[in-house]
Amino acid sequence: MKGNCYIQGMAAISPQLTFEGDIFSAPLIHTDSNLLACIEPDYKPFIPGNSLRRMTRVLKIGLTAALRCIQDSGLDTPGPIVTGTGKGSLQDTEKFIKEIVEYKETALNPTPFIQSTYNSVNGLIALQQKCTAYNNTFVHRGFSFENALLDSMMLIQEGASHTLTGAFEEITAEHFYIKSRIGFWKETPVNSAELYQHLSPGTIAGEGATFFALTGSPSPHTYAAISGFKMLYKPAPGKLTATLKDFSAGADLIITGRNGDSHHEHFYEELDSCYLGVPQVPFKHLCGEYDTAGAFGVWLAAQIIKAQQLPQQWFPQLQPLSAPVNSILFYNHFYGEQHVMLRLERV
């Protein structure tokens, strides 16, 4: 993808203290349950109480993160709303399916069905902001957020002044159990703060909602420019290495999606061989693994490049940045199938 777009505003609700306050002084939140759940903020400043009672968790975190992002950007309206999600509202989906069995397909409450659709968060944002512009949700597993980002960059190149672009995901007890049966998570409890020291099959589960206000031109408030974007689906042997070498020569820092899963560590070993000596920062110990975890990684990269420092308490094993970070390579993949590379540059 050619052509720059600029991150004008951001917001993230995650298992870390990312929604309010200074992330560079926030402590590292960790768990040994193999599941990192979101720290939910006070919703009342963003969502009316009568609406709040009828909304499930993913709707609350998605809408609140979007509204905080709009505030942070200083923009009056969200413009086109483009999001990605791998699973949507699992809580509502599970509730509706259980009621089908419980009530034998009669007298069903329609609310869980309505709110279980993938585009329910987009609809809530548009209703609250009275936005009638382009509105789209992408559901493509590990490429969900990336397709939303690609669509947004194309909209900006076609003349849109700005977009609201984001991703949201939740984990439930039932979904965690189902995925544990097929080997997604580690078999024994692992302290998330020590995730990368436990290289074994599986990883830890996560969830979150992350939104960006993207514009076609920079401003004094801009966090970073997205100047390069590449997606690969099940790359052939050698293709990933060749693409990594060509993609972002001269990167000062690399943000990686390493997650402690030994099945996919070889992809990051390919990355290591391409960028010898370049500092690497993994982020999955902060948010866990989920379909749209890449959105959190991009949010972290933009924070680092804007502030020119690492949240040191989140990365105690890494040395503080000693040189200016003008270019960051972001690389992530979802279970070895969907691979994404982004180049972020300092503005």
- % of residues, the chain, pLDDT over 90: 80
User: Which CATH code, of 3.40.50.300, 3.40.47.10, 3.40.630.30, 3.90.1150.10, is assigned to 5-345?
Assistant: 3.40.47.10
Q: What is the dihedral of CA 100, 102, 108, 113, to 10 degrees?
A: -50
pLDDT for the residue numbered 51: 87
207 close to 88: Cβ distance less than 8 angstroms:
no
Distance CA 232, CA 332 (A): 11
pLDDT for the residue numbered 249: 76
pLDDT for the residue numbered 1: 58
Whose CA is closest to 318, among 272, 283, 267, 270? Answer: 283
Residue 204, phi then psi, degrees to nearest 5:
-115, 150
Evaluated on CA atoms 20, 22, 27, 31, the torsion sign reads positive
Q: How confident is the model over 234-260, as a mean pLDDT?
A: 91
Q: What is the value of pTM for the model shown?
A: 0.95
Amino acid at position 242, single letter: A
pLDDT band at 268 (very low <50, low <70, confident <90, very high): very high
pLDDT band at 100 (very low <50, low <70, confident <90, very high): confident
pLDDT band at 247 (very low <50, low <70, confident <90, very high): confident
- % of residues, the chain, pLDDT over 70: 99
pLDDT for the residue numbered 346: 96
Q: How confident is the model over 125-129, as a mean pLDDT?
A: 94
Is the pLDDT score of 107 beyond 80? no
Q: How confident is the model over 50-73, as a mean pLDDT?
A: 94
Which of 63 and 96 is assigned the larger pLDDT? 63
pLDDT for the residue numbered 42: 95
Is the pLDDT score of 266 beyond 90? yes
pLDDT tens digits, one per residue of 154-212: 999 999 999 999 999 999 999 999 999 999 999 999 999 999 999 999 999 999 999 99
pLDDT for the residue numbered 254: 96
* Residue corresponding to tokens 């969900």: 144
Would you list the domain boundaries of the chain?
5-345
pLDDT for the residue numbered 302: 98
pLDDT band at 2 (very low <50, low <70, confident <90, very high): low
Is the pLDDT score of 35 beyond 70? yes
pLDDT for the residue numbered 101: 87
